[in-house]
A and B are shown apart, each in its own frame.
Chain A
Amino acid sequence: MTGNPQLYSISTLLVVFLAGLLAACDQRMAEQPKYEALEASALFENKQAARHPPAGSIARDEPLVSSDPADGPPLELNRADIERGERRFRIYCMPCHGVLGNGEGPVVQRGFPSPPSYHIARLREANLDYFFQVITSGHGVMHSYADRVEPADRWRIALYIRALQRSQQIDVERLPQFREPVEQAATSDNDTLMPTRIGEQGQ
């Protein structure tokens, strides 16, 4: 090697230091040219990257639950289904129909038209598929929930509404002691990992 060794090592240091500064450059790794969910796009007619699946297509792992209430609930519904129905009910129906289904949810208290109570004779006598039908297509001022509640869950909610109706007809004296101790309830976690088929759920 020729030249001044001191100069050589200093310039090496300098190169290493300057190379380090490159790390501060924008390498476009953080903003990659790819679409994210719901991003705007000039490619498609609706100007969105999000596409609707072609009508009638079914995802490979989609449970085969008919969206026609006349076909009835698939397989049989069990206790886990009622429990999931309850949780779905609390998300999508409780705001208006209230926890008890008496039509006095928080949104109704702020002025939304009051829905009928589930405990009136007409709705007590209605079939399960009537509730399925109302969730699918809406009813009067109530909009359809078909975009957010999948068919299997519509049956589960219908079943839970039935349970709610029965619960209001029960003689309280005859109720069994059903409350689990808090600690047990906190860990016996029987919510399902995305249940695929009614009646076939883990845990």
Chain B
Amino acid sequence: MAQLFPQWSNTVVRIAFVALLALPVAVPAALMIAVRTPYQTGEGVYREQPVPFSHEHHAGNLNIDCRYCHHTVEQSTFSGMPATQVCMTCHSQLWTDADMLAPVRRSLAFQEPLRWRRINKLADYVYFDHSIHVNKGVGCETCHGRIDTMPLTYPTEGFQMQFCLECHRNPERYLRPRSEITTMGWEPPVPQHQLGTRLLETFQIHKEQLTDCSICHR
């Protein structure tokens, strides 16, 4: 009688055993990698907004400072979203019958705020504060990318923990003078490591504590 199992079936069984053992590691690892992909974190994904607002036009071509619209960014954890009135400081005179802007006019007429959909969103167990970053020389561009080139706004960062930590360990690599906070495409006038170390001192940043869990999870 011929053998029931051919010679190679031994190998198959061995491989199967190894695979079975690796499974408990491989499955969680795959899941952990999956949640960190841009697909999951939403990097680079546009969202439908009530008005197709273009940062490229307003912040880029017209060179309007971010703070004209996001005006609490220096005082508050929240950067502030422009009220309908803010759009109207210009659009009461400009593009007054454009269909694109109909929701803005409706919002003004009915006193109903526009509902922008959030693009950047941290989990609620993370504490974040715009004002401390902006006042200590971290530019918008460092976290939000070249907003001034976006016809529709999308996130350039998934804001995983490692992104925050990467800077909190060595903030001097990213710091800029306070006057350049909202500048897009900024280049340091002197080598960044020199400028950064000096700014670290000027702003009195104590980076030893910046990686404590309780800084962000409080």
Contacts and interface: CB of A to CB of B under 8 A. Distances in A.
Interface of A: 17, 20-21, 24, 29-32, 34, 36-38, 40, 48, 87, 90-92, 94-95, 106-107, 110-113, 141-143, 147-148, 182-183, 186-187, 189, 191, 193-194, 203
Contact of A113 (B83, B93, B195): B93
> In which size bucket is the chain B interface?
35 or more
Contact of A143 (B75, B89, B125, B177): B89
Contacts of B45: none
A30 B123 contact: yes
A29 B125 contact: yes
**Interface residues of B, dominant DSSP:** loop
B22 interface: no
Contacts of B38: none
Contact of A91 (B67, B86, B94, B137): B67
A90 B97 CA distance: 29
Interface in B55-78: 61-65, 67-68, 71, 74-78
Interface string B187-210: 011100001001100100000000
B148 to A, nearest CB: 13
Contacts of B61: 106
Contacts of B188: 186
Contact of B24 (A17, A30, A106, A194): A17
Contacts of A183: 189-190
A189 B93 contact: no
26 contacts: A24-B31, A29-B124, A34-B124, A38-B78, A91-B65, A91-B68, A92-B68, A95-B68, A95-B90, A106-B61, A107-B62, A141-B92, A141-B93, A143-B85, A143-B88, A147-B83, A182-B189, A183-B189, A183-B190, A186-B188, A187-B195, A187-B202, A189-B177, A189-B199, A191-B178, A194-B75
Contacts, number: 93
A15 B78 CA distance: 43
Contacts of A194: 74-75, 131, 135
Nearest to A30: B123
Given A95-B90, A147-B85, A187-B199, 20 more contacts: A20-B28, A29-B124, A30-B125, A90-B65, A91-B67, A95-B62, A106-B63, A111-B94, A143-B85, A147-B83, A148-B68, A148-B86, A183-B190, A186-B189, A186-B190, A189-B177, A189-B179, A189-B199, A194-B75, A203-B202
